[in-house]
Amino acid sequence: MCGAKGSISGVSCPTEIGAFGKKETDFSDRDAQVLGFSTDSRYVHLAWRKSHPDLAALPFPMLADLKRELSLALGILHKQDGVALRATFLVDPEGVIRHVSVNDLDVGRNVEETLRLLDGFQTGELCPCNWKKGDATLTAGG
The full set of domain ranges for the chain reads: 7-123
Average pLDDT over residues 29-48: 93
Task: Catalytic residue, from 2, 13, 127, 129: name it.
Answer: 13
- CATH number, domain 7-123, options 3.40.30.10, 3.40.190.10, 3.40.50.720, 1.20.140.10: 3.40.30.10
Q: How far is CA 13 from CA 20, 38, 100, 119, 130, in A?
A: 11, 9, 18, 25, 27
Instruction: Supply the pLDDT for residue 1.
Output: 30
CB distance 30 to 103 below 8 Å? no
d(CA 122, CA 30) in angstroms, rounded, equals 8
What's the whole-model pTM score? 0.85
Please give the angle made by the CA atoms of 60, 103 and 53, to the nearest 5 degrees.
Answer: 40
2 flagged as catalytic: no
Task: Tell me the CA end-to-end span of the chain in Å, nearest whole number.
Answer: 23
Single out the residue of 43, 40, 31 nearest to residue 4, CA to CA: 31
Instruction: Supply the pLDDT for residue 14.
Output: 80
- State the alpha helices, DSSP H only, in 3-138: 14-22, 24-29, 42-51, 69-73, 111-123
Beta carbons within 8 Å of 110's beta carbon, 6+ residues apart = none
What does the radius of gyration of the chain's CA atoms come to, in whole angstroms? 16
Instruction: Tell me the per-residue pLDDT of 45-67, one tens digit each, with 9 for 90 and over.
Output: 999 889 989 899 999 999 999 99
